[in-house]
Amino acid sequence: MDVDDLENIQSSHSYNLTCPGESLTSSQSFMRGHGTYVDNEEVVASVAGTIQRVNKLISVKAIRSRYSPEVGDLVVGRITEVQPRRWKVDANSRQDAVLMLSSVNLPGGVQRRKLESDELQMRGFFEEGDLLVAEVQAFFADGAMSLHTRSLRYGKLRNGQLVVVPPILVRRLKSHFISLPCNVDLILGLNGYIWVSKHVKEIDQEGEQGFDAEAVYSNINDEIDIPTRSAISRVTSIIHILRAHFIPLTDTLLLETYEWTIEHENHTTDLLQQDFGEAMVAYISSTG
Amino acid sequence: MASRIEILNEGGFRSDGRRQFELRTIEIDLAQQGQADGSAVIAHGLTHVLVSVFGPREARMRSHTMHDRANINVEISLAAFSTGDRRKRSRGDKRILEFASTIKSTFEPVIQTTLYPRSQIDIFVQVVQQDGGLLQACINGTTLALITAGIAMLDFVCAISGGVHSTSPLLDLTNLEENDVPNMTVAVMPKTQKVSLLTMDTRLHVERFEEIFRLAVEAGSTILVEMKAAVLGRSSRLIESVDSSTQPHGLGVENDNS
Amino acid sequence: MRPPSPSIPEKEFLFSSLKESLRLDGRTMLEMRTPSLTFGSDLGWVECALGKTKVLAQVEAKMVKPQPERPFEGTISIHSEISPMASSDYEPGRPSEDEVTITRMLDKVIRRSDAVDKESLCILAGQRVWHIRLTLHFLTDAGNLLDCACLAGIVALKHFRRPEVEVIGDDVIVHLPSERAPMPLAIHHTPFCFTFAFFPDASTPPVLDPSHLEQRLSAGVVSISLNAQKEICVLQKLGGVPLGADDILRLVDVSVTKAKEMHSFVEASLMEDWNGRNIEVR
């Protein structure tokens, strides 16, 4: 193969794909965005992925990479370390995220000052290994993200299991809290961590009212009945299949596939068969 | 150590039937391996290497974090069954340590480490089978794994081995040839044609050196074509399957267990 | 712990002067510090200094049983460990990356390039061979430890004389140096090592024989080992800043001339030392 063949490869794709080291355009008429660098007055790609152009800004989005956070994103994370006045949280990003003691709801409700006693019992709220759902609040100077759980919807996670997918497969949705009719709740973290759990009744109150520290920081699972358990594992298996086929997750898609599997399967374990998964994916692509 | 096997016969063929400048078949598999952020399996003929990249992620040891750039950590393990004589090498083996530090310093200026401050990028290289050109396979595999992990790099790094049999230069040596002829490994960054790595451990006259060195630099672009095709193929497969759920057409599969 | 890196002004000063082809110690870019060789009273005891960098090399020989797979060949072993004595950058215990590079390079330059004829070290096939043990002590590190160590090692091997032996039947008789003149080792060729340092800015020319600060701030080194016969023994550029093919070939040319100079220098020093010794043969 020589250079000519290479050009054929590229032109045969309808997508705008590029590789590191490929020059995209001149830097005099365009600005460089993420995934590019400037060398010899040329904008050059530094990752493999799709070229995106917004007016004069050229950037390359990698197909698969770690999660790059944005303020306001909903993420699911796991506590890795308890430090003075802060927790370190693994959120599938370049560095561990930080959850400050001042950005969590504390027992006693209402906005109150953090006391030394709170600092001493931080492990009582979150311990190493605990899973939580939070929102990206801000960034530190070095690019690490700071999280907060100052909402009743955020906090420690119980009653379910974690599924990890590449972050690109979680698209921004109107709501990342999804309730499936099968008594299963889903939290689609934008960092690719997905929490599948038993449905709990909605908390409607806003702000600090109705905040029950006992329940929020509890480490004990509720009673989960057998049908719910199998529903949870069915949803998990569906996500695994979609991940293997690199299909982005949306609420409608999950709902449709769930209904389809109910119709076609004999048992939950059918979802572990490769051909069943392929049939499911074929169904998805046929309905679009 | 005179070998009875002819390295290059009168007809211009090598012991495995290749011509002087012919490369071995390159097979590349970029499917995801386990939990790794990026992975690649590359085979140059019978030399097989598996590379997994984790990161950029929080450094496991605080002392390894650098405030202005990412730390790169390379670990290599050679499978005991990868060579003819079954031998287990300890992790402290000087040759392996040198190998790891070579890979690390080759990729340090290529990865845009300043984009990932306080992070760590772990590169794990598992050598499954060796038949000459080990360093070349490790470097090419690492390049591909880093690209699949979406880590920003200035360019590909393409490595190739070369040697000289009396006066005729050869490219992409097998184990047999490596033991018999002076050989070198060259890694090139194709965009600028600059050499980022060059090692030669065997005696060779200066004049002979220049010829094979220039050839090897040129051969780098052939390797690039293969690597690029693999990367673009994977990219388009994945993009297609992402799109297939919104607009029904072709279906790509990235299988976890392939 | 990593040693603290040089401060930014130090760095800037070095880079800006190098850009104007000026080095902090007044050398030109491709000038080596003049090596000095001090020979001890024992044969095979050499102290080599490149400026303030000092390495002591010592050669011993003893008789051992050969390896079963190589019954006609003697063995050479190189012992080098950088202690914190050389510089506070080095720690005892786990070898650092620099140390691995130096040890491996010494092994390649001196042992793997077949500088010493191993077959001539055979006394009685399969029974007795010479085992040559080269020990390197790194005394001070003021940059470019590698070149200094290679020079010390190879000169020590050339300087060394082993006792004459005589084989009668299956008996081996070792003659004391006072009885018969000791024998020099059979040396095939004399490789010398030259290290060039490169800097992050591509317009800065490379420097030969980097000082400690230059080495710390360099963005990559190229080590070329070759002999006076224009044969490259080892060439290694392990990563670092990428270079053009022509740049590398130019460095090879520079080293070719340097190797010739070095060869005559070493021969002259050895000759001078040898003439200064009075060997008594009775």
The amino acid sitting at A90 is D
How many beta carbons lie within 10 A of that of residue C230, not counting itself? 15
Mean pLDDT calculated for residue range C78-105? 82
Interface check for C19 against chain B (CB to CB < 8 A): the answer is: no
CB contact under 8 A, A35 and B152: yes
Residues contacting residue C75 through CB under 8 Å, at least 6 positions apart: C64, C66, C67, C118, C121, C129, C131, C132
Tally of structural domains, chain B: 1
Cα of A245 vs its chain's centroid, Å: 17
The amino acid sitting at A117 is S
CB contact under 8 A, C236 and B105: no
Distance from CA of B240 to the nearest CA of C (A): 36
Of A73 and B94, which is predicted with more confidence?
A73
Distance from CA of B212 to the nearest CA of C (A): 12
Q: Which residue of A has its CA nearest to B242?
A: A247
The answer to whether residues B103 and B74 touch, using CB atoms and an 8 Å cutoff, is yes
Spans of all domains in chain C: 22-276
Mean pLDDT calculated for residue range B84-107? 83
Interface check for B156 against chain A (CB to CB < 8 A): the answer is: yes
Q: Which residue of B has its CA nearest to A97?
A: B58
Range with the poorest average pLDDT among A98-102, A201-205, B82-86: A201-205
Q: Rounded to whole angstroms, how far apart are CA atoms B73 and C150?
A: 29
Of C247 and A216, which is predicted with more confidence?
C247
Spans of all domains in chain A: 3-62
Question: Which contacts (CB < 8 Å, 24+ apart) does range C27-31 have?
Answer: C27/C209, C29/C205, C29/C206, C29/C207, C29/C208, C30/C207, C30/C208, C30/C254, C31/C208, C31/C209
Of B6 and B156, which is predicted with more confidence?
B156
Q: Rounded to whole angstroms, how far apart are CA atoms A51 and A33?
A: 10
Compute the half-sphere exposure of residue C188: CA atoms within 13 Å on the CB side of its CA: 18
pLDDT of residue A81: 92
pLDDT of residue C280: 53
How many beta carbons lie within 10 A of that of residue B239, not counting itself? 21
Contacting residues of C for B63, CB less than 8 Å apart: 1
Contacting residues of C for B98, CB less than 8 Å apart: 100-101, 104, 238
The pair of three-digit structure tokens given for residue B92, joined into one six-digit string: 């402290």
The answer to whether residues A179 and A196 touch, using CB atoms and an 8 Å cutoff, is no
Q: How many helices (H) and strands (E) does chain B have?
A: 4, 10
Residues 70-109 of B with CB under 8 A from A: none
Helix axes C97-106 and B94-107, enclosed angle (nearest 10): 120
- Of all residues in chain B, the percent with pLDDT exceeding 70 is 92
CB contact under 8 A, C101 and B101: yes
The answer to whether residues A134 and A77 touch, using CB atoms and an 8 Å cutoff, is yes
The band of A3, judged by pLDDT with boundaries at 50, 70 and 90, is: very low
Say if residue C168's pLDDT is above 60. Answer: yes
Q: How many helices (H) and strands (E) does chain A have?
A: 7, 17
The pair of three-digit structure tokens given for residue C200, joined into one six-digit string: 């992050």
Q: Does residue B210 belong to any structural domain of this protein? A: yes
CB contact under 8 A, A19 and B147: yes
Matching residue, tokens 């220039």 = B214
The amino acid sitting at B95 is R
Contacting residues of B for A62, CB less than 8 Å apart: 150
The band of A8, judged by pLDDT with boundaries at 50, 70 and 90, is: very low
- Domain of B87? 26-244
Compute the half-sphere exposure of residue B123: CA atoms within 13 Å on the CB side of its CA: 35
Say if residue A195's pLDDT is above 50. Answer: yes
Q: Which residue of C has its CA nearest to B218?
A: C245
Eight-class DSSP state of A144:
-
Of C100, C249, C256, the CB nearest to B97: C100
Which residues are paired to B57 by β-bridges? B120
- In angstroms, the first-to-last Cα distance of chain C is 58
List residues of B whose CB lies inside 8 A of any C CB.
Answer: 63, 94-95, 97-98, 101-110, 184, 189, 192-207, 209-210, 213-214, 217
C164: left (phi over 0), alpha (psi -120 to 50) or beta: beta
pLDDT of residue B3: 53
Mean pLDDT calculated for residue range A150-160? 88
Distance from CA of A146 to the nearest CA of B (A): 15
Round the average pLDDT of chain A to a whole number and report it.
Answer: 85
pLDDT digits (tens, 9 = 90+) for B186-244: 999 998 899 999 999 888 998 889 999 999 999 999 999 999 999 999 999 888 888 77
Interface check for B172 against chain A (CB to CB < 8 A): the answer is: no
Per-residue CA distances from C126 to A273, B247, C72, C164 (Å): 64, 77, 6, 19
Mean pLDDT calculated for residue range C184-205? 90
Interface check for C105 against chain B (CB to CB < 8 A): the answer is: no
Q: Rounded to whole angstroms, how far apart are CA atoms A77 and B76?
A: 31
Say if residue C107's pLDDT is above 80. Answer: yes
The pair of three-digit structure tokens given for residue C56, joined into one six-digit string: 């002591």
The secondary element (H helix, E strand) that includes residue B179 is helix B175-180
Per-residue CA distances from C260 to C54, C160, C267 (Å): 22, 22, 11
- Of all residues in chain A, the percent with pLDDT exceeding 70 is 88
Contacting residues of B for C113, CB less than 8 Å apart: 202-203
Interface check for C237 against chain B (CB to CB < 8 A): the answer is: yes
Quickly list DSSP for B229-241.
Answer: HHHHHHHHHHHHH
pLDDT of residue C90: 81
Interface check for C235 against chain B (CB to CB < 8 A): the answer is: yes
Do chains B and A touch, with touching meaning 3 or more CB–CB pairs less than 8 Å apart? yes
Mean pLDDT calculated for residue range A172-191? 90
pLDDT of residue A109: 62
Helix axes B206-244 and C245-276, enclosed angle (nearest 10): 140
pLDDT of residue B245: 63
pLDDT of residue A88: 94
Q: Rounded to whole angstroms, how far apart are CA atoms A28 and A51?
A: 18
Q: Which residue of C has its CA nearest to B107?
A: C239
pLDDT digits (tens, 9 = 90+) for A64-91: 889 989 999 999 999 999 999 899 999 9
Q: Does residue B85 belong to any structural domain of this protein? A: yes
Contact pairs from chain B to chain C, CB under 8 Å: 111
Question: From the CA atom positions of chain B, what is the Rg in Å?
Answer: 19
- Of all residues in chain C, the percent with pLDDT exceeding 70 is 97
Say if residue C71's pLDDT is above 80. Answer: yes
CB contact under 8 A, B147 and A253: no
The pair of three-digit structure tokens given for residue A236, joined into one six-digit string: 């998990």
pLDDT digits (tens, 9 = 90+) for B122-181: 999 999 999 989 999 999 999 999 999 999 999 999 999 999 988 899 999 999 998 888
Contacting residues of A for B147, CB less than 8 Å apart: 19-20, 47-48
pLDDT of residue B65: 84
Eight-class DSSP state of A249:
B
The pair of three-digit structure tokens given for residue A39, joined into one six-digit string: 């060398």
Q: Does residue B15 belong to any structural domain of this protein? A: no
Q: Rounded to whole angstroms, how far apart are CA atoms A199 and A274?
A: 29
Interface check for C250 against chain B (CB to CB < 8 A): the answer is: no
CB contact under 8 A, C95 and B204: no
A3-62 CATH fold: OB fold (Dihydrolipoamide Acetyltransferase, E2P) (2.40.50)
CB contact under 8 A, A6 and B58: no
Interface check for B25 against chain A (CB to CB < 8 A): the answer is: no
Of B63, B108, B209, the CB nearest to C239: B108
Q: Rounded to whole angstroms, how far apart are CA atoms B4 and B8?
A: 12
At B73 the three-state DSSP class reads strand
Distance from CA of B84 to the nearest CA of A (A): 33
The answer to whether residues A21 and B244 touch, using CB atoms and an 8 Å cutoff, is no
Q: What is the CATH number of the domain that holds B189?
A: 3.30.230.70
pLDDT of residue B171: 93
CB contact under 8 A, B38 and A94: no
Q: Rounded to whole angstroms, how far apart are CA atoms B55 and B142?
A: 13
Interface check for C1 against chain B (CB to CB < 8 A): the answer is: yes
Of B56, B67, B254, the CB nearest to A244: B254
How many beta carbons lie within 10 A of that of residue A154, not counting itself? 21
Binding partners of A (≥3 Cβ pairs within 8 A): B
Binding partners of B (≥3 Cβ pairs within 8 A): A, C
Of B104, B196, B199, the CB nearest to C242: B196
CATH number attached to the domain at C22-276: 3.30.230.70
Binding partners of C (≥3 Cβ pairs within 8 A): B
CB contact under 8 A, B217 and C97: no
pLDDT of residue B258: 33
- Which H, E and C letters describe chain C, residue by residue? CCCCCCCHHHHHHHHHHHHCCCCCCCCCCCCCCCEEEEECCCCCEEEEEECCEEEEEEEEEEEECCCCCCCCCCEEEEEEECCCCCCCCCCCCCCCHHHHHHHHHHHHHHHHCCCECCHHHEEECCCEEEEEEEEEEEEECCCCHHHHHHHHHHHHHHHCEECCEEEECCEEEECCCCCCCCEECCECCCCEEEEEEECCCCCCCCEECCCHHHHHHCCEEEEEEECCCCEEEEEEECCCCCEEHHHHHHHHHHHHHHHHHHHHHHHHHHHHHHHHCCCCCC
The secondary element (H helix, E strand) that includes residue B96 is helix B94-107
CB contact under 8 A, B200 and C241: no
Strand locations in B173-236 (E): 183-189, 194-200, 204-205
The most distant pair of C-alpha atoms in chain B lies apart, rounded to whole Å, by 65
pLDDT of residue A165: 92
pLDDT digits (tens, 9 = 90+) for C109-155: 988 888 899 888 988 888 889 999 999 999 999 989 999 999 999 99
Interface check for B258 against chain A (CB to CB < 8 A): the answer is: no
CB contact under 8 A, C240 and B105: yes
Round the average pLDDT of chain B to a whole number and report it.
Answer: 87
The band of B91, judged by pLDDT with boundaries at 50, 70 and 90, is: low
Residues contacting residue A196 through CB under 8 Å, at least 6 positions apart: A160, A161, A162, A163, A184, A185, A186, A232, A235, A236, A239
Matching residue, tokens 């400048």 = B21
Interface check for C55 against chain B (CB to CB < 8 A): the answer is: no
Question: What is the DSSP pairing of strand A57-62 with strand A49-54?
Answer: antiparallel
Distance from CA of A202 to the nearest CA of B (A): 30
